[in-house]
Amino acid sequence: MYRNLGNFELKIPKIVSKIGFQPSESVSTDLLHGQKVELFIKRLDKIPGESSGNKYFKLKYNLETAKAQGKTQILTFGGAFSNHIHASAIAAKAHGLRSIGVIRGELVYPLNPTLVAAKENGMIFHPMSRSLYKEKYKVQHLKEWMDIYGDYYLIPEGGTNELAIQGTREILDEVDTAFDFICVPIGTGGTFAGLYASAKSHQKVLGFSALKGEFIHQEIRELLAHHKLVGNKEYKLFSNYHFGGYGKISGDLIQFIRNFSDSSAIPLDPIYTGKMMYGIFDLIEQGFFPKNSRILAIHTGGLQGIAGMEQRFNFQLYP
């Protein structure tokens, strides 16, 4: 799938715009010069405070609504290494809400770094077998949790709903209208949908799926239709940069992430942003982007997941 990047050397990144907490940094490589394209990275991972990355935007209106509805706790779902579980625990605590995490599969002790942090932020874990987890939204389960824990505000797995998309519409701001391409990793598609909704008509949004399979094309079509976001803007999805599937890695990917981070001082995670960035460089090398294109890659965060991946695969991403 992937060809050698060639002369891959990033120069020191330069902060070119700073809107509140969201500086975009430009990166510069021989490859970019050769292809005459510019690449900027919007560092949502640098958002300080309760939870960073795309999660800040996805949770923002959900937590505000939970409080406005008089709820005192949220209930949400995810795997044991989930960025969403991690961020939900931290953000809920910061908003003065309790959090319950329905975790896919048995809890493994000692807890991994994601769950340790979630627990430290007060999250109560409700483990659910993998087979039952598939039907987690069934009314009987929702009622059972209500009986056990009391009333709660439900946030779906991955956090994508109407209010999450309302939040992710706020990722792009005025200065970003200068870009021709907006690139983002895709899990459930909520971040992609908000970006697509807020992009200008001259911009094309590119989504890089972290999951294996062509289903993502239909899923995104349905998501956009469901939220009435179908418009005359262009988008394109790439389903060939998953490296074997969700949470899977390869030596090639790890080497790329290390090279990129060594040269740019921008850390990437191996589940979402690393795969997207790999895809962007691969596309640049293939000449996908027309000359003089200005590309904006959204750094959606996820760096908390690195420690868990390292533990799981017994390696160090940044030795």
Binding residues (CB under 6 A) for ligand PLP: these are 53-54, 83-84, 158, 160, 185-192, 272, 300-302
Element of type H or E holding 166? helix 162-168
Nearer to ligand PLP, 31 or 44 (CB): 44
Dihedral of alpha carbons 182, 237, 229, 136, sign: negative
d(CA 74, CA 59): 11
- The residue with its CB nearest to ligand PLP is 302
Whole-number minimum distance, CB 271 to ligand PLP, in Å? 7
Nearer to ligand PLP, 31 or 266 (CB): 266
Whole-number minimum distance, CB 274 to ligand PLP, in Å? 10
Which amino acid does the sequence have at 221? R
Q: Can you read off the two tokens belonging to residue 2?
A: 């992937």
Whole-number minimum distance, CB 160 to ligand PLP, in Å? 5
Whole-number minimum distance, CB 71 to ligand PLP, in Å? 22
Using only C-alpha atoms, what is the Rg of the chain? Answer: 19
Nearer to ligand PLP, 247 or 302 (CB): 302
Place of tokens 């000359």: 291
Nearer to ligand PLP, 35 or 209 (CB): 209
Nearer to ligand PLP, 28 or 65 (CB): 65
196: burial class by Cβ within 10 Å (0-12, 13-18, 19+)?
buried
> Where on the phi/psi map is residue 131: left (φ > 0), alpha (ψ -120 to 50), or beta?
alpha
